[in-house]
Structure 1
Amino acid sequence: MAAGPYNYSYIFKYIIIGDMGVGKSCLLHQFTEKKFMADCPHTIGVEFGTRIIEVSGQKIKLQIWDTAGQERFRAVTRSYYRGAAGALMVYDITRRSTYNHLSSWLTDARNLTNPNTVIFLIGNKSDLEAQRDVTYEEAKQFAEENGLLFLEASAKTGDHVEEAFLDTAKKIYQNIQDGSLDLNAAESGVQHKPAAPRSNQLNTDQQPGKEGCAC
């Protein structure tokens, strides 16, 4: 069952955006490491994580860029929006200010990514129900009005974290299948790397020089 280092068919680029302290880095860590970082330091600039998932029988490598939420880093992090296939836009359900700023984050995402970028709204810290400051219903309405996917999640417990990342990938893959996402476009955020036939898997695994995009 050992998989080769390049045993995947697609690479999807994700970005995680939102205010400082909403738990972006914790969501990334929970998804890639299955762990919760209780004292997660604020991101300076950007951080990076990867994980290989499976959608409709296809192995997909997610390259996830976690951006800093502070205003002073916005000029730096905006450059990472380009070529993102998926954007996870995060707010904290216990801090209304982080929800009120979503329109600004969404404007950046719409302006700096391609029209087919899948934007997923995540209300983080769902484990802190007693401190809730933003209702599920109003966030869901905001998502529907803006054509966003939406879930509440908890980076601490792991609740719905997996679903947010996977559902984004499923939507991107659906866009590839129905032809609305052009893989030849530089800004698509997707690289297609056809997996080698199983009979040749050993040979392929022994040739690390084959990593490049095969589109």
Structure 2
Amino acid sequence: MALTDADVQKQIKQMMGFIEQEANEKVEEIDAKAEEEFNIEKGRLVQQHRLKIMETYDRKEKAVELQKKIQSSTMLNQARLRVLKAQDDHVGNVIEETKKRLSDITRDQAKYLEVLKSLIVQGLFQLMEATVALRCREVDVSLVQRAVPDAIKVYKQATSKEAVIKIDTECFLPTGTFGGVELSAMRGRIRVVNTLETRLDMIAQQLLPDIRNTLFGRNPNRRFLD
């Protein structure tokens, strides 16, 4: 039985409807897959950028923390240096004040005579020369003349050596010297300065740790003692 035109048109419409439905379903499938892939890629990119942002801020945070530590350490060191300078200045002032009081020693003639004798003996032991030149303050010449014989006697008893001391009565110790003597030999090539100032400086250097402890207390960061 032959198909009429109406049957043919109906079959064509059915086929077109089927094809259109298949096409729509395929489009929906493609859209769904594309959206899924888009969401996956979007999530991956978002996570990637999130990690980069976190790494950037982490680096910045560490840099800020490091800068804080550096600034804190710098300020702490500067504070320590200021404290040390203030302590050194105070110790220096104490020593300078002590030097000003050295003149008190020379007021007691009997005690100062013994001091001069000891300083001369020490100088002789250091030089160990037969002929020694001696300088002193102009006001001390008479006391030094009295101290020299006893000093030579002590030196001779200890070393069995003779010594001649020539007191310089033209070139005296500089103005401002608080007392003591200066001995030299071999035409001034070797010299021993035994003024009260130099002796005080020597003692101050030796006792500097004790002076610091007395003035400021023991340093808790110091593990070893001299």
**TM-score (norm. length: structure 1):** 0.24
Which has the larger Rg?
Answer: 2
Higher helix share: 2
